[in-house]
Structure 1
Amino acid sequence: MKNKFNIDLKIFENYYSADYFKKTREILNKFKPNQLVTMQWFQRKENTVICGIEVIKEILRLSEVKDLNVEAVEEGEVVNSLEPVLKITGKYNNFAHFEGLFDGILSRASTIATNAKKIINVANGKMVLNMNDRMDYYTNQQIDGYASSIGGITNLVTEASFEFLESQPNLNGTMPHALIASFDGDLLKATEAYKEVFPNNNLVVLVDYNNDCINDSLRVCNNFRNEVYAVRLDTSPSLVDKSLQNLNEKDNELHGVNPTLVKLLREKLDENGHKNVKIIVSSGFDENKIKYFEDLNTPVDIYGVGEAITKNKIAFTGDIVLIDGKKQSKFGRENVLSNKIKSIKYN
C-alpha cells in the first residue's frame, strides 16, 4: 500500500500520542464503547491558509478504520478565527489517539502555507526562493516544502522539499560564502570553479563576501560578461556596504540589504552593460520587509526567504462538540457550522 506522505507507521502504535489520550481511550473503551462523538478542529487567527488535510486523510486511510464520518475544508482554503476546518464523527476509541497529532499537523503545515501566501501576496509576482532548510530541523523539509507549495512558494532548495510534491526537483540556489572562503576570498576564482563544475546551471554569484557589493558585482559581471544570470546580496544587518559608507543615515536604513544599495547596484550594472543580470536579495526578508522594498519600487528580481517561512505560529486545537448527536463541549467551544467543510472520503 503506497504511503503518500511517508507516514511513520509507529503512529498506529500510539508512539506519538500523549499519554492522557491513550488512557482516555482505554477508559471509554471500557465504559462507553459504543458512544459516537464529533470532534472539531479550529484555530484563532484571520486569513489562515489551511494545510495538512491531505496528510490527515492519508493517516486515516492507513489506519484502516472504516466507520468514521470525516468533514474538512479543501487543502489551501482560507479560514478565519474559530472556523472549523475538520470534523470527525465516530467511536472515540477509533481516533482518540489522533487528536494531538492532527493538532500538530494542521499547526505546522498551515503556518508554513499561510506565511508563504502572505509573502507571495506582497512580492508583486516576483520569484520567491524558499531557503528555510537552514532555519529548522531537517526532517521538516518534506512537509514544509509541501506546505510552502500550497501557499504559493514553489521554488525550493533541497531534494527533500520536493518529496511530497508531484513535480520533479528543480533546485534553485546560489554559491554559499563557504565556497568563496575556500578560494581565499577570491570571488572570481570561486565563480570560475562553480562555472567549470556546473556549466549548465544558471550562474548566480554571491557578492557580499567583502562587504563591497557594487564593486564585486561589477568585477564578476565584467569578467564573465553575458554568463552571469544573477548576483545575490546577503549583507548582514549589522553592516553598511562600502559603497554607502559616505552617506548620511537615519534609523539604520543603510544597514544590511536595503533599497538604496539595490537601486545603486541596478544603476551601476545597467551603466556597465549588464542590464540582463538579475538581482537576488536575502538576509532577514519577511512579508513586511518585502512590502517595504516593493513600496519603494526597489529593482529586486528574486527574494530569498528563510526564517519568515516558519514564524508566527498558528495553533490548532481539537475538541469534542457532540456526543451521540447532542451538544456536549467545553464552555466556549461549541459545535460550529460552516459551509466550507464538506464530507470527504479517506479510503
Structure 2
Amino acid sequence: MIDEVKLKECGKISRLSNKTFKFDERIGHGFYTAEYFKKVRNIITKHQPNQTVTMQWFERKDNIMLCGIDEALAMIKEYGVDTHELEIFALDDGDMISAYEPVLKVSGKYENFGYLENVIDAVLARRSSVATNAFRAKKACQGKTIFCMADRQDDIVTQMGDGYACYVAGIRLVATDALGAWWGAKGQGTMPHALIQMCGGDVIRACEIYHDTYPDEPMTALVDYNNDVVTDALRVARVFGDKLSAVRVDTSANLIDKYFIGKDISGFDAHGVCKELIFALRDALDRENFNHVKIVVSSGFTPEKIQIFESLKVPVDVYGVGSFITRNDTVGFTGDLVELNGKPQAKYGRKNISSNRLKKVIFD
C-alpha cells in the first residue's frame, strides 16, 4: 500500500536531498482525486488528446512560507505519465511567497498530470499552513527554542509531513519519531501528567523513577500537576539539584495556580500559564541558587502570546507549541489551467502569471 519516491530523483536542489517520500499507492488509482478530474481525464483522452496545457498553482495571502513543493514534485514523478515530457518550474520549500504568486507551473499533456490537481492543492495547503504557523511561532520567540508538540491535534498520518514543515520553518525539537522521520530526528520529551498520577500525585517520586529509568537524560520535571508550580518546582530542585535540567509549566487556562492564593490579582488575568506566575517561579528558583534550572512553558501558546511574553522579558527558555502549529486554515492553494497549446486560455479573471523566481525542474 506504500509507494516510495526518493527526492533525489528530482533535478532541483532540495533541503532534504536524500529523503524518501512514502505515498499511499492509491493516489495512482485516483482514490484521492476529485471525481470530476478523473472524468475530464477520460473525456480528454477520448475526444481532445495530445493538447499541451500549462497549469499554475498559487495562493491568496502575503507572507506565507511555502512548503510541500518537493513532495508535490515527487508525486508528479511517481504518478504522472511520461514525466520526461513535462516542463516544470517551481519555487523551493521554505521560500516566502505573496498572494497570487505562482509557486509551481507544469506544462504538458493534461491527461499526463492534470488529475493530480487537487492532491497537489492539498499537499501545498497543509504543508504551507503548518510551515507558516511554525515560522510565525519561531519568529515570535526571538531565538529561543520551540518544542513542536503537534502530535495529538490531528490525524496521526499528518505527523511526518507536519514535522517536515516545522523543520523547514526552523524547528528542530519534536515530540514523536514520526514528526522527525523525514529529516532524521527522534522524538523527545520529559514526563507526562500520567506518570505523576500513577505516583499518587507525588512529583518527587515521579522524578525519582524517571531518573532511575533514564539516568543519562536531562530531566525536566512537570510541576503543575498539583496546581502549585512554585512549591513543587522548589521541592524537586532541592532534592535533585544539578540533576534537574528544567521544569515545565502546563497549567490549564481555566485554573489559577495556588501561588496566587491571598494575593491581589485584580490587575491581571491569573489563569493558566500567565507571565506573573513565570516571573514568580524564576525568582523563587534563583533565590535558592537554582539558576541552572530552565523554564519550559506550554498550553495554548500562540505567536501573539509568545510576543507578549518576549516583549516583557518573561524568563522562559523553551516554548511548547501544539494546537497553533496544526491549524490548517492558514492558507489554501488553487491550480489553474492558463495556457492551451502555447496560447493564453484561462477562466475569466485568471491568467498565466510571470515570475522570475521559478526554477526549472528536471527529473533524472
CA distance in 2, matches of 1:40, 1:252: 50
Residues 193-242 of structure 1 deviation map (CA, whole Å, 9 limit, x = unaligned): 11101111110100000000000000000011111000000001111111
1:199 to 199, 215, 220: 215
Number of aligned residue pairs: give it. Answer: 345
* Pairwise CA distance, 1:248: 2.9
Please name the residue that 1:236 is paired with.
252
CA distance in 2, matches of 1:2, 1:211: 47
Residues 229 and 277 of structure 1 are in contact (CA less than 8 Å); yes or no, is this contact kept in structure 2?
A: yes
Structure 1 position 41 matched with structure 2 position 19: no
Structure 1 position 338 matched with structure 2 position 352: no
Residues 132-191 of structure 1 deviation map (CA, whole Å, 9 limit, x = unaligned): 1011111111001111100111111111112211x342x321201111001111111111
Please name the residue that 1:153 is paired with.
171
Structure 1 length-normalised TM:
0.97
Residues 264-312 of structure 1 deviation map (CA, whole Å, 9 limit, x = unaligned): 1000000011000000000000110100100110000000000010224
CA distance in 2, matches of 1:55, 1:156: 20
Please name the residue that 1:87 is paired with.
105
Q: SS at the partner of 1:284?
A: coil
2:235 to 219, 224, 235: 219
Please name the residue that 1:128 is paired with.
146
Please name the residue that 1:141 is paired with.
159
CA distance in 1, matches of 2:265, 2:326: 31
Within 5 Å, which residues of 2 pair with 1:1-347? 3=5, 4-63=20-79, 65-165=83-183, 167-169=184-186, 171-250=187-266, 253-311=269-327, 312-347=329-364
Runs of 5+ consecutive residues of structure 2 not aligned to the other structure:
6-19
Residues 230-257 of structure 1 deviation map (CA, whole Å, 9 limit, x = unaligned): 0000001111111123333357621100
* Pairwise CA distance, 1:24: 0.4
User: 1:176 corresponds to which letter in structure 2?
Assistant: P
CA distance in 2, matches of 1:346, 1:11: 20
Please name the residue that 2:13 is paired with.
none
CA distance in 2, matches of 1:339, 1:248: 59
User: 2:116 corresponds to which letter in structure 1?
Assistant: F
Residues 60 and 346 of structure 1 are in contact (CA less than 8 Å); yes or no, is this contact kept in structure 2?
A: no
User: 1:12 corresponds to which letter in structure 2?
Assistant: G
Residues 50 and 110 of structure 1 are in contact (CA less than 8 Å); yes or no, is this contact kept in structure 2?
A: yes
Aligned residues with identical type, % of pairs: 42
CA distance in 2, matches of 1:284, 1:106: 26
CA distance in 1, matches of 2:27, 2:192: 38
Cα pair distance change 1:35/1:251, threshold 3 Å: farther
* Pairwise CA distance, 1:341: 1.1
Residues 86-134 of structure 1 deviation map (CA, whole Å, 9 limit, x = unaligned): 0110000001210000000000000111111111111011000000101
Residues 63 and 97 of structure 2 are in contact (CA less than 8 Å); yes or no, is this contact kept in structure 1?
A: yes
- Say what the alpha-carbon RMSD is for the aligned residues: 1.3
Structure 2 length-normalised TM:
0.92
Residues 133 and 330 of structure 2 are in contact (CA less than 8 Å); yes or no, is this contact kept in structure 1?
A: no
CA distance in 2, matches of 1:162, 1:270: 35
Please name the residue that 2:16 is paired with.
none
Residues 42 and 318 of structure 1 are in contact (CA less than 8 Å); yes or no, is this contact kept in structure 2?
A: yes
Residues 22 and 96 of structure 1 are in contact (CA less than 8 Å); yes or no, is this contact kept in structure 2?
A: no
Q: SS at the partner of 2:338?
A: strand
Once the two structures are overlaid, the 10-residue window that deviates more, 29-38 or 1-10, is: 1-10
User: 2:254 corresponds to which letter in structure 1?
Assistant: S
Q: SS at the partner of 2:151?
A: helix
